[in-house]
Each structure stands twice: as structure tokens, then as C-alpha cells.
Amino acid sequence: MEHRAALTPSTAKTLLDAGFKITVERSSQRIFDDEEYAKVGCPLVKTLSWKTDAPADAYIVGLKELPENDNSPLHHTHIFFAHCFKNQGGWKELLHRFDAGKGTILDLEFLNDSNGRRVAAFGYMAGFAGAAVAIDVWCHQKINKGKTYGALKPYPNENALIDFSKKRLAEAAAKNGNVYPTIMVMGALGRCGTGACDFARKAGIPEKNIIKWDIQETKAGGPFREIVESDIFVNCIYLNTKIPPFITRQLIDGPRKLSIICDVSCDTTNPNNPLPVYTINTTFDKPTVPVESSNPYPLEVCSIDHLPTLLPRESSDMFSKDLLPTMLALKNRKDSPVWNGAEKLYKEKLAASKA
């Protein structure tokens, strides 16, 4: 269900005009049709042909993880979300593949400017989509009590998603004494949290029902009872150090209103995950997993790690536009602090994988 692209036809055209050569692999999955790239001048080639046909000095630009069940050495410089720099599951094995082939990872998640801020991120759309899914799960729990929440499918545009959510909320609130849910957003001041709060507003949740927490509210350290006193919890924090857990088994076993957690941050395999009540990533096919609790009131977790693909075209357009100046800087990569920082980080993580 991943339909996004790091380079859109529009940004590809800008790069072509700047003198770059761009070859695009055919894809029936991508939100942008092959022909959209062909129209701006990109030659099309078969899927996964980069493995055998890409020149040694080509950059392989993708989005998410490489194909599974493949331990072959990787020879190119890849620009993608590798998901291996925070000790996620399989991180050493992936780094060793690049080491064996003398390749390099320039990770999209760690392209930072001189202020340490990411040059491009899906964070806003991740929060936006995460709140959408969490709110819809809450609606489903009220409208279809006891029934499993079904598969998700991407929406053609933002308006279609908002219209759907408004109708569902009205129907669910009617079954809940005309009371709208409270939604707590952790990391509310960041890009991701801002997206979550914006969606809640656009869907029609009253401002007083949107509980916004950030560093100031969490500096004392968890766990926090306020989380289980909300109907919906959306976690948008960026985790890079160990922190006390936000919730515990004891909290969810006790009295609570909480019935859906959307962990947008999705640090499922991270040993420092601040939501230690679930252990698996969910998918668009099966968006939620139930949490075991001695409290019979239902509690589910959504831990989809590519939520922005709920709105793939808008997500790709926003991300690729932000990424474009950095892509243009590839012409003089050795003079780019952003690319130099990314390469330095790769070397540090590779060394750590051998320690």
C-alpha cells in the first residue's frame, strides 16, 4: 500500500532542466503514473533494474526499505529511508550489505541543515494521517461495537478524507450521547503533532477536546495518567534517547477512557519505545492490533510506519518540493554540508555495527 515517491514528475523536471540525468523504474504501485515521468523527459526502465543496469556512480533514489530476503552486497549510493540508524530490527545486517559492496546510505531521515533541522520530512502528513486513522478507529468502535476494524485504502485527496471523517464523527458522536472524543497529541508543537492537531480541527473536533502536550508538559517524565483519560492518543514525538515510558501496563489495566493509540513515531523495534504495550507494526491491510488488558474496555494500537501514503499525492508533492534544493546540491556534493553530514552519519553507524 505504499504509493509515495521521493521525486515527483514536477521535481524530476526541475532536476532534468538543471542538467541531471534521471532514469525512472516502471511501477504500478506509485501514485504517479509512469507516463507522468515520461512526459517530462525521464526514460523508463523495468522495476529493480538498478541492481544490474545502473552505472556505478548513479544515485539510487527510493523511499522505503529495499526488497526483503536479499543479502547481496550493495554497490551504489542509495538515497532512501533505510530505517537502520536507530538500532531498528535488522540494522546491522543492512549496514553490512552496504559495507560488503562498498556502497553508501544517504538517509532521507537524517538530511539536516546547519540548524539541525531536517530539510524534508513527511512528519506533517504523518501526523495528519495518523490523527485521521485514530479518529476513524474511535468512530468504528462506537458505530460497530465488537467488530474488527477493516483495511485502509489511500484517499485521492485531502478533501475526500476530511469529508469522510466528518460524516463518521457525526454518526459516532450520535451513538456517544452527542459527545465528541478527546484527542491527546504528544509532541504537539512539532511538524508531526501540528499535522495531527490540524486534522482533528478540520474533521470537526472542538478545540477544547484537542489536548496538546509537548516538552513542557512531559519534562517531569512519565508515565502519564492523562493519556488514559483521553479517548484517543496520538504519539508524535521524535525519539533519539531513552525516556521513561508514557504509559504502562498498570495504567491501561486501570480505569481509562483510552480506546485507540496511534503511534505515528512507530519506534516498535526500538528498545526505548515509550509505548511498551505492543510489539508489532500494523499495516494498511490490518491497521490495528488489540492490546491485552485486564480492563475489558477495548484498546487498540495503530502502528503503521508509512501513514502519509493515506494521502500519497499530497504527501509526495510536499516532501519532494522540500527535498529539491538538497537534490540540486548533489551536483557539488562535497561542498554540501547536508550531504556531508549524511555521509558522516553513515560511517559512524557502520562503525557502530562492527563494534
The catalytic residues are 64, 83
What residues have CB less than 8 Å from 63, skipping those under 6 apart?
2, 4, 5, 6, 80, 81, 108
The verdict on whether omega for the bond into residue 337 sits within 30 degrees of 0, i.e. cis, is no
Contact 232, 205 (CB under 8 A): no
Contact 137, 165 (CB under 8 A): no
Q: Looking at this protein, which amino acid is placed at residue 19?
A: G
Question: Mapping DSSP to helix (H, G, I), strand (E, B) and coil, where does residue 107 land?
Answer: strand
**Cα dihedral across residues 166, 320, 287, 289: positive or negative:** negative
At which residue does the C-alpha cell 485486564 appear?
Answer: 294
**Dist CA 314 CA 205 (whole Å):** 23
**Cα dihedral across residues 290, 293, 213, 279: positive or negative:** negative
Strand 289-290 to strand 300-302: parallel, antiparallel, or no bridges (unpaired)? Answer: antiparallel
Contact 284, 304 (CB under 8 A): yes
**Dist CA 98 CA 235 (whole Å):** 32
